């Protein structure tokens, strides 16, 4: 059996979903640009460097969902997909996902970004299964906090094992492959049989070269 795992941001997508989401909300006037832009850029920089605290990072972005109901957010996130996400998906990423789907792999998107703004992206790729950071619900909307294990760094591996266990499966049963760009996904890449670096950041590139991991470019 073949299991293929795809990171989203800077792997299948030319950009970061969380950062783009915030830029989009500022464009629409749903976030105060003067107050938020610098904090958004700082968070993105520290995440890419692997130096930001996990809970701080997750709460910062999930916090943008507080204040509106699910019904109010729905047209916003669909416009976000159409205008901000789809144009940033490289054809090479589409082809790579399709190749694994057509081969009959069990394909999973695994992302640190919250489910609410990434589940439409997974569906756009034709990927049925998604592991993402979960946003806590509150009434008809979101509390602005996360719930459960964050789908970040070691959490991606823990969530993967839990997801497979719920299906009556285990990672060792699979000929597994993972694609990622980020040093944050080093635990995930080390957990699978075939780690693949996609336009890797400098830290991951150095480790991957020493380990002999293959590297490809989609961007």
- Catalytic residue numbers read 7, 9
Would you say how long the chain is, in residues? 219
Across 4-16, b (16+ Cβ under 10 Å) vs e yields bbbbbbbbbbbbb
Tokens coding 11: 């792997």
| Cβ partners under 8 Å of residue 33, min gap 6 | 26
Residue with tokens 């590139």: 205
CB count, 10 Å around CB of 35?
A: 9
Across 55-79, b (16+ Cβ under 10 Å) vs e yields eebbebbbebbeeeeeeebeeebee
In a 10 Å sphere around its CB, with 0-12 CB exposed, 13-18 middle and 19+ buried, how is residue 30 labelled? Answer: middle
Helix (H, G, I), strand (E, B) or coil at 131: strand
| Cβ partners under 8 Å of residue 99, min gap 6 | none
Task: Give the separation between CA 95 and CA 91, rounded to whole angstroms.
Answer: 6
């Amino acid at each position: 059996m073949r299991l293929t795992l795809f990171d989203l941001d800077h792997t299948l997508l030319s950009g970061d979903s969380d950062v783009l989401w915030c830029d989009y909300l500022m464009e629409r006037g749903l976030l105060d640009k003067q107050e938020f832009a610098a904090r958004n850029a700082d968070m993105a920089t520290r995440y890419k460097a692997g130096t930001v605290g996990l809970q701080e990072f997750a709460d910062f972005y999930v916090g943008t969902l507080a204040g509106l109901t699910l019904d109010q957010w729905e047209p916003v996130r669909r416009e976000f997909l159409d205008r901000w996400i789809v144009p940033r998906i490289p054809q090479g990423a589409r082809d790579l996902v399709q190749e694994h789907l057509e081969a009959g792999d069990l394909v999973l998107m695994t992302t640190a970004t919250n489910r609410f703004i990434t589940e439409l992206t997974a569906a756009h790729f034709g990927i049925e299964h998604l592991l993402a950071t979960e946003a806590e619900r509150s009434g008809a909307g979101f509390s602005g906090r996360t719930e459960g294990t964050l789908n970040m760094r070691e959490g991606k591996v823990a969530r993967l094992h839990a997801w497979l266990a719920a299906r009556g499966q285990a990672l060792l049963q699979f000929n597994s492959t993972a694609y990622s760009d980020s040093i944050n996904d080093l635990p995930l890449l080390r957990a699978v049989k075939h780690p693949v670096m996609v336009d890797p950041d400098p830290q991951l590139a150095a480790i991957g070269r020493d380990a002999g991991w293959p590297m490809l470019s989609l961007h």
